Amino acid sequence: MPHVVVRITSPRPPAEVLADMADFSHAPEWDPSVVSATRLDTGPLRVASRFDLVVRSARRVTPLRYEVTELDEQHAILTARTATLESIDTLSVESQGHGTVFTYDARLTLLGIWRVFNPVLAVMFRSLASRAEAGIRHRLS
């Protein structure tokens, strides 16, 4: 299963960091693999908030519908599932001095007969994740 964990220190307060990063409608601003993102509801972010993302990997474009499945003051979990792929993104914040340590834990799993390609996906995912990490660092600075 492809898995990437990124830890970034930000001068911004924890609540602000979590609210910003858990709102996946902003994902194209920090993740170059996200072609587009649309929030499907309005109001404050909450459990059951949903986002439609279009993600590009190599020459393939994949639509993913993410849903906030857990949310509190210190973490959010967003999950997307298709017939062939599951993505679980866990975002967490902790205070550090006058700023925040932000942790982004992303897990992708190919499902069904496609599971045998998880090692190939892991290599591609690491490359995409390193570009997203740079975008997150820039956004949270």
Contact by Cβ (8 Å): 59, 70: no
Q: Which domain holds residue 40?
A: 3-140
- pLDDT at position 111: 76
Average pLDDT over residues 70-79: 98
* CATH number of the domain that residue 41 is part of: 3.30.530.20
- pLDDT at position 113: 77
Contact by Cβ (8 Å): 109, 86: yes
For residues 55 and 32, give the distance between their C-alpha atoms in angstroms, rounded to a whole number.
9
Q: Cβ of 51: how many Cβ atoms within 10 Å? A: 22
Indicate the range of 49-53, 61-65, 90-94, 111-115 predicted with least confidence. 111-115
Helix (H) or strand (E) holding 112: none
How many structural domains comprise the chain? 1
Average pLDDT over residues 12-37: 96
Running DSSP on this structure, what letter comes out for residue 40? S
Q: Is the pLDDT of residue 5 over 80?
A: yes
What would the pLDDT profile of 29-74 be if each residue is shown by its tens digit? 999 989 999 999 999 999 999 999 999 877 889 899 999 999 999 9
Running DSSP on this structure, what letter comes out for residue 33? T
Helix (H) or strand (E) holding 21: helix 14-22
More confident residue, 87 or 116: 87
What would the pLDDT profile of 120-138 be if each residue is shown by its tens digit? 655 565 666 677 888 998 9
